[in-house]
Structure 1
Amino acid sequence: MSITARQVAADVLNRSRSRDGFAAELVDDAVNAANLSPQDRRFVTQLVFGVIRRGGTLDALLKPFIHLPTHAVQDRVWDLLRLGAFQLTFLTHVPKHAAVHETVELAEHVGAPKAKGFVNGVLRRIAELTTDEFTDAPGAAAVPFALVESAPTHLERAGGRGSYRRLTKPVLPDPVTDPAPYFAAAFSFPQWLANRWLKRYGADECVRLGFWFNAAPPLWVRVNKLRASRESYRIQLAAQTIEAEAGEHPQSLRFPQHHSIRDLPGYAEGDFAVQDHSSMLVASALGVQPGMRVLDACAAPGGKTTHLMELMDGRGHVTACDIDPKRLETVAALAQRMRLTGIETVLLKDNEEFPAGPFDAALVDVPCSNTGVIGRRPEVRWRLKPNEFEYLIRLQTRLLILAADRVKPGGAVVYSTCSIEPDENEGVVKAVLRGMRGLTLEAEHHSVPGRPSDGGYWARLRKAKA
C-alpha cells in the first residue's frame, strides 16, 4: 500500500520529537524508504522543516481555538494540528479545503481516529483566521510570512524585509508594547533566546534574523580545486541548464534554485562538496601549505577536513579526529568520493586526548550551540537550553588548549564555531589567550547570518617560535 507525502511528514515529525536524528537525515531516510516522486519529496521536506521552524508561531495561532490543556492533546494529534495550520498559513499553493481534509484523514494513520472531529474543528477556525491579504508591517494580526522576493537572490540585498500575512483578528503579542513575546511567537523562537537576542541586537536586526532563519537556506557547494576550476564547473552546470553564481570564496558556488545533490554533475567523481560559504572560510584561514601535517580536532562530517587537503594540493597529511564512529565514517566516505588521500581518521574515546603530534597547524571546529545555522538545523532552536552554554564553553576551552598544545612553535591554530554567541566565540579565545603564554591572536572573523550565508566565527592563533 502506497504512503502519502503527508503521512511521511507526520511520521518524520514524530521521530524528530524523540530526538532520533536531525530533520535533514530523517527526511532523507523516510523519502527514500517510501519511494516518493521528486514532487512529493519536496513537499515532505517543506512540511517537516516548515512545522519545526514555525512550531512556536503555529502554536500561537492554534491555542486560542483549543479549549484543552496542551498536555491533554496527544503528541501525534498536535503534530497534525501543526501540519494543517502550517499549510493553511504558509503554503498558498495548497487549497484550504485540501489542507483541512487531507490533514484530518491523517488521524487514522497516527492511531487517533477519534480525533478527526477535533482536528477538523480547529483547522477550520485556522482557515477562517488566515486571509489572502499581505502587508509589509508587523502587527498582532499579521504573521511573518516570507522574504521579499523582488530583490535578486540574497536576503541582504532585500534589506532583510519580509511580508506579513494578515489575520482576521489579533492573536499575537503586540510588537510595540511586547517586543520580546512578539518576536518569540511571530518568528517562532523560545522566549529565552528571543530575550537574549533582543538585548544584543535590537528589534530591527532580530526581525531580519527571524526572516532569514525561517527561510529555506541557500545551497552552496565548494568546487574541488584539484579536479576542476570554479569556472569550468559552472560551464559543466550550464550545459545541463543549471544556474549557479560565484561567491566571494574562490571555490564557492551558490545555487538560486535547490537541487538534488546526487543528481548534480560531477557528484560521483568528487568535483564538489556541499559546504556553506561561511564554512569554507574556516579552513582557508589556517593558511596551510603542501606537505604540512595538520590536526583536524573535531573533523566530522568532513567538509573542512577535505578542504584542508585540497588547500595543500593533495600533498600533506590530515589527522581527522572525532568521538562519534558513525560521523567519522562520513569523513572517510567524503574523502573517498573527493578522490583525496592523506587523510587519517582517528576515533577518540571519552576524554581521550588528541594524537601527540607535533603538528604544523591545527583546526578546532568545536561543538557549539549552532545558533548561526538555525536555518539548516531547525531543531536547534527548540533543543538548545540556556543552561547548556556553561558546559559548552568549558568543552570549547579545553579543546582549544589541547589542540594548541599539539602544534609546534610558530604554528597556527584556527578555532571556529557555527555560533553567533559572543561567549562561545571571542569569549573562549580571550580566556585561552589569558591562560596560555606564547599564543597570540593573529586574525578573527564573524560571519553574520544572511550576509550572505550561515553565521559563525573563526579566530587564528599563532604560537611563538622557539
Structure 2
Amino acid sequence: MKNLRSKILKALLRVESGSYSNLLLDSELKKIKDQRDKNLFTEIFYGVIRNKLYLDYVIESFSKTPLHKMDKEVLTGLRIGVYQLFFLDKIPARAAIYESVEAVKLILPASRKGAVSFTNGVLRNINRKGNELTLPTKTESKKEYLSVKYSYPIWIIKRFLDQYGFKKTEKILKAGNKRAEVIYRFNPLKMEKNEFERLMDQDGIKYENTFLDSFYRLKEVNNPAETQVFKNGAAYIQGTSAGLASLLLDPKENMSVLDLAAAPGGKTTHLAVLMKNSGQITALDVSQSRLNLIRENIERLGVKNVVLKMEDAVKYQDSKKYDRILADLPCSGLGLIASKPEIKWEKSESVIKQMASLQYDILSNNLSKLKPGGKLLYSTCTLSQEENQDLINRILTENNNFELVNINKILEEVSALNLKNENKYLELLPGEVDSEGFFYALLKKVESD
C-alpha cells in the first residue's frame, strides 16, 4: 500500500494524543485491503509503541539533537525507521529508511525540508553505526538495564523489582512485550459446542485450548470479529484472566447479582451464561455510551437476565440485597500491557493512588448490599499492591463482618491452572501464567448488618 508508513505515523501521533491503540488500530485496518499491509501496519504500529523507550535510546545515541527539541512528526518517523532497522529483518535497510523519510515528508509542509533531511541523516547514521550501540549492563544498574532492554519507564521497573525481585520482574517485562493473543469465549446461549468448533474449522480458524474450559486461543485468524461464530453471537473476545473472574465468583441459577463496573459487558454476559440466563444481574456503569456497548453485547449474545443502570458505583443506593457482587473495578491496568502497550507511557505513580482511592470508595459503598453468606469478588487487571493486597487488607480490617475466602479450592474446580499459591487471594503474573496480569480476592459476608 502506498504511503503505509505515513498512515502509521499519523496513527502513532494520535496514540500520543490519547487515543486507545486497540480501537484506533481496528479502525485503521478496516481501510486497508491487502492482508500483508494489514500485518505490516500492525507490526510497526504496536512495535513502536512497545519499544518506544528503547527506540529513543538508539536515536539519542546517534543524534546530536536532543529528543525534546525534535518535531513530534520527525521523532515518530525516526522511531518507525529504527524499529524496522533493529526488529524487522525482512525489510531491507534502504527501504526502511526511504519509506520512513517519505512518511515524514508527506506529513510535514514543504517548507520543512530541513526536518526531512535531518530524519534521513539520522537514520542513515544509525544504519551505518548501529552495531556500535552500547546498552546499560546489569552490573551497572539493574533498573537501567531492564528499563532500556525491555523499554519500560523506570518507575514501573522500580515498583516491580520491589514487589517481585529481578527474575519475576524480567518475566513480566518479557511477557508484556509479546503480541497480545486473541481468545474466544464460547457462548452456549447461541449454539452447541460441537457446532461452534465445526464452524471454526469451516472458517479455517486454527485454535488451541486454554486453562479455562470454553476459552479458545486463536492461532490463525485475520479478523476475529468477521467469523461465523462471532457474527452468530457464539463467540465473545475475552482474555482468560478476565474470564476467570466470573468463574471465581461462582454464581448459581436464579441468584441476584450486582456488577459494579460492567462495561463493555464481557464479565456481565459471562455471568449470564453461568447462570443459564436465569435470576437477575444488575449491571452498573457511569457512562451511557459504555452502557450502550453492554447492550450491544447482550443482544448479540442472546443474554436475557441483565438490567442496565446508569449509576456511579461510588454513590449507588439500592435497598436490595444480593447473593453475589462482582467488583471488577477501574485500575491502573499494569497487567494489560501486552494488549495496551501505551499504558507504559500514559500511567504514573499518581494514577495508582487515585485508583486505590476510587476502588476503596466503591467497595465501601456497596458491601452492605450483600446478603449474609453472600460473596463479593474483587478483581483488577493491575500489578500494584496499593490497588490489590493493601486495599483488601484495609477493607477486612474496617469490616469485621467480612472474611477472605481461600480462593485456591474453587480455582482448582474452574481451571486447569496448577499454581503454588500460598495466599487466600490470587495474583496472576504475565510470564508465569500464559495470560494477562490479574488480582482476585473473594470476600464472604459472615453475619447480617
Using structure 2 for the length normalisation, give the TM-score: 0.90
Q: Report how many residues are paired.
A: 426
The question of whether the paired residues in 2 share the 8 Å contact of 1:221 and 1:273 is answered with yes
Deviation at 1:354? 4.9
CA RMSD of aligned residues (A): 1.8
| Aligned twin of 1:138 | none
Matching of residues 221-232 of structure 1 within 5 Å = 221-232=184-195
The question of whether the paired residues in 2 share the 8 Å contact of 1:225 and 1:251 is answered with no
CA spacing shift, 1:465–1:198, aligned 2, 3 Å = closer
The question of whether the paired residues in 2 share the 8 Å contact of 1:403 and 1:413 is answered with no
1:298 to 235, 256, 261: 261
69-78 vs 352-361, greater mean Cα deviation: 352-361
| Distance in 2, Cα, partners of 1:129 & 1:363 | 55
| Letter of the 1:23 counterpart | S
The question of whether the paired residues in 2 share the 8 Å contact of 1:364 and 1:403 is answered with no
| Distance in 1, Cα, partners of 2:184 & 2:56 | 35
Does residue 448 (structure 1) correspond to residue 429 (structure 2)? The answer is: yes
2:88 to 74, 91, 98: 91
| Aligned twin of 1:128 | 128
| Letter of the 1:29 counterpart | S
CA spacing shift, 1:171–1:356, aligned 2, 3 Å = farther
| Distance in 2, Cα, partners of 1:91 & 1:305 | 40
The question of whether the paired residues in 1 share the 8 Å contact of 2:352 and 2:384 is answered with no
| Letter of the 2:440 counterpart | W
| Distance in 2, Cα, partners of 1:258 & 1:240 | 9
| Aligned twin of 2:418 | none
CA spacing shift, 1:464–1:85, aligned 2, 3 Å = same
| Letter of the 2:392 counterpart | V
| Distance in 1, Cα, partners of 2:368 & 2:343 | 32
| Distance in 2, Cα, partners of 1:278 & 1:361 | 19
1:56 to 53, 58, 74: 53
Deviation at 1:196? 1.6
Does residue 459 (structure 1) correspond to residue 422 (structure 2)? The answer is: no
The question of whether the paired residues in 2 share the 8 Å contact of 1:363 and 1:413 is answered with yes
Deviation at 1:68? 1.4
- Partner of 1:256, secondary structure, is strand
Identity fraction in percent = 28
CA spacing shift, 1:289–1:11, aligned 2, 3 Å = same
TM-superposition CA deviations, 1:120-145 (whole Å, max 9, x none): 11111222344xxxxxxxxxxxxxxx
| Aligned twin of 2:132 | 169
| Aligned twin of 1:153 | none
The question of whether the paired residues in 2 share the 8 Å contact of 1:218 and 1:258 is answered with no
| Letter of the 2:277 counterpart | G
| Aligned twin of 1:13 | 12
TM-superposition CA deviations, 1:8-32 (whole Å, max 9, x none): 211111111111x210111122333
Matching of residues 45-444 of structure 1 within 5 Å = 45-112=42-109, 113-114=112-113, 115-130=115-130, 168-348=131-311, 352-442=315-405, 443=407, 444=425
The one of the two structures with greater contact order (alpha-carbon pairs below 8 A, sep at least 6) is: 2
CA spacing shift, 1:31–1:15, aligned 2, 3 Å = same
TM-superposition CA deviations, 1:55-113 (whole Å, max 9, x none): 00000111011111222101111110001111111111211111000111112222154
The question of whether the paired residues in 1 share the 8 Å contact of 2:172 and 2:429 is answered with no
In proportion to residue count, which structure has more helix? 2
- Partner of 1:101, secondary structure, is helix
| Distance in 2, Cα, partners of 1:342 & 1:31 | 35
Does residue 43 (structure 1) correspond to residue 40 (structure 2)? The answer is: yes
| Distance in 1, Cα, partners of 2:318 & 2:9 | 45
Deviation at 1:41? 2.0
The question of whether the paired residues in 2 share the 8 Å contact of 1:56 and 1:189 is answered with yes
| Distance in 2, Cα, partners of 1:77 & 1:326 | 36
| Distance in 2, Cα, partners of 1:26 & 1:241 | 27
Structure 1 residue ranges without an equivalent (≥5): 131-167
Using structure 1 for the length normalisation, give the TM-score: 0.87
Deviation at 1:199? 2.7
Q: Detail structure 1 runs of 4+ shifted over 6 Å in the superposition.
A: none
315-324 vs 55-64, greater mean Cα deviation: 315-324
